[in-house]
Amino acid sequence: MNNWLNSITEIELRKSLQITKHVPKLTTYKLFITKHYAYPLKELSDEDTAYCNWAQFIYAIQLIDDDKGKRKDSISSLILKLKTLNQEANIEYLHEPTSKWMIKNLTFSLEQER
């Protein structure tokens, strides 16, 4: 995505996403929502990127809702809140049960490393 964003102009971006000229200057954010653990994505994130699981996503929205009187709601406030939450987070891992798969004659299993 970064390569694509770096290779096009704002006019091309607006055209691709069908955004009219009435929308102010564009800022792009990337948000990765994972099923379980978002912490490993920390190394991949840049300034305009956040990562979370669904529980963290909902929690961040609730925190922003609680702070409504203090600031204006925006995507940037959500990204900032998620980045702040992930900096303070402890790394916790829940055990994922072993899954067994079979495709025709091939049988394999996936097991979480301990």
Bridge partners (DSSP) listed for residue 107? 102
> Model confidence over 4-57: pLDDT tens digits?
888 999 899 999 999 998 888 888 888 888 887 776 666 666 777 888 889 889
Global pTM reads: 0.60
> Model confidence over 60-69: pLDDT tens digits?
999 888 876 6
- Output the pLDDT for position 89: 56
Strands 106-110 and 99-103: antiparallel
Sign (positive/negative) of CA torsion 102, 104, 107, 108? negative
Cβ neighbour number for residue 13 with a 10 Å cutoff: 14
pLDDT at 107 over 90: yes
Give the residue from 70, 41, 65, 38 showing the smallest Cα distance to 54: 38
